[in-house]
Amino acid sequence: MFLGEIKPMGLTIYQSITPAGITPQQPTDKTSLCGSDRAYTIKKWFGVRRSTWLLSMYMVAYFLFLVGGCLLFSTLEQGAEEKLKNGIDQRKKDFVQAHPGVKDADLEKLIDDIMYRGISPKRRDLKNSNWSFGQSLLFTVTVVTTIGYGHINPVTPDGKLACIAYAVIGIPFTLIFLSALVQRLLAPTFRLLSSFLKLLPKMDNFQVRLMHLATMSSLFLLLIMLLPSIIFYLLEPGWTLLDTFYFVFISLTTIGLGDYIPGDNEMHEPYRDAYKSCVGLFLLMGLVFMSLTLTVFYDIPQLNLGLHLLRHRDISDKDSTTTIKRKHTDSETSTQTTLRPSIDYTNAGHDRILESD
């Protein structure tokens, strides 16, 4: 059985069973889209879809970026690591020499025994539980937000199973929570954009949206990044401003290396639970505003480079040479009209540009 051509209304004609009087459709250069008579073309480079080329180049660039990061951090950190290791080894040797009754092997075994993840060997921490309310709240926040500092962890089988189950439920729950709050905050955010458009009627829409993005990013940097960094600098002895900014950035980007944990200093003991609870709430609110800023960024199609990697971006209308928009419509500005757009807030998740009367 040979497969023939597909007619515009979706009728498939098989040459071996074609009824009498029906002539199979001859191949044509035009291709119909979704059974319509509207012709379209597929953008290709050297016979391969353009998005496939772009995705391939992106993947190559991405893996080169990873290799470059590997070489960068190895170059920057390897020398400092060697110095620290040599210093620790020298202190161990000095300790053994100062205490002839202690064997080097016994010291190594003691270090192995006390270096248990999440358990502090310091005497002052023997009565401070890792699972107090504040510590537990911060732990649960880092689990459901996937920050995962790793400063404490469950060690019992029941605790590990509970952590898995809690994360399975809590991560989607948190995503819904974050997306709902961001959705609420988009309406005033885009009202601000609408005000910019009215105040700057002669400026190109793209330039206005860049100013709006710069305003939102500046507010985020000032209120969510710099101000908390200063607060942590005042509360955490031994932390520099770079350390505190590094901690805030690593936390809000959900990297969560866990090398800096606020509230573990001895001076915080009287209010440690309240302090760590506040840190957990700050992480949640910070992620909300981080998501809001990223949403404003990705809502500008000229900056959303990922759109060019989608397969449907290869499809062009043959008659009008306009790009077919499917699930995500590009709210690109038109230079052919003098009308200023206004924002439709009925669906604040997408910045719909409507022509005003």
Tokens of 87: 């210093």
Q: Is 351 left (phi over 0), alpha (psi -120 to 50) or beta?
A: beta
Average confidence (pLDDT) over 253-279: 92
Q: What's the confidence (pLDDT) of residue 117?
A: 66
The total of other beta-carbon atoms located within 10 Å of residue 244's CB is 23
- Is residue 11 very low, low, confident or very high in pLDDT (cuts 50, 70, 90)? very low
CB 58 within 8 A of CB 309: yes
Q: Tell me the C-alpha distance between 38 and 30, whole Å.
A: 9
Q: Calculate the average pLDDT of the chain.
A: 81
SS (H, E, C) 218-248: HHHHHHHHHHHHHHHHHHCCCCCHHHHHHHH
CB 330 within 8 A of CB 53: no
- Is residue 118 very low, low, confident or very high in pLDDT (cuts 50, 70, 90)? low
CB 138 within 8 A of CB 152: no
- Is residue 311 very low, low, confident or very high in pLDDT (cuts 50, 70, 90)? confident
CB 142 within 8 A of CB 256: yes
Average confidence (pLDDT) over 83-88: 93
DSSP assignment string, 80-133: HHHHHHHHHHHHHHHHHHH-TTS-HHHHHHHHHHH--TT----GGGTTS-TTSH
Q: What's the confidence (pLDDT) of residue 325?
A: 45
Report the relative pairing of strands 39-42 and 31-32 from DSSP bridges.
Answer: antiparallel
Backbone angles phi, psi at 213, to 5 degrees: -65, -40
SS (H, E, C) 159-207: HHHHHHHHHHHHHHHHHHHHHHHHHHHHHHHHHHHHHHHHHCCCCCHHH
Highest mean pLDDT among 102-106, 124-128, 155-159 belongs to 155-159
Within 8 A by CB and 6+ apart from 297, the residues are 213, 217, 303, 304
User: How does pLDDT run across 150-204, given as a tens digit for each residue?
Assistant: 888 898 999 999 999 999 999 999 999 999 999 999 999 999 999 999 999 889 9
CB 130 within 8 A of CB 118: yes
Q: First CA to last CA across the chain, in angstroms? A: 58
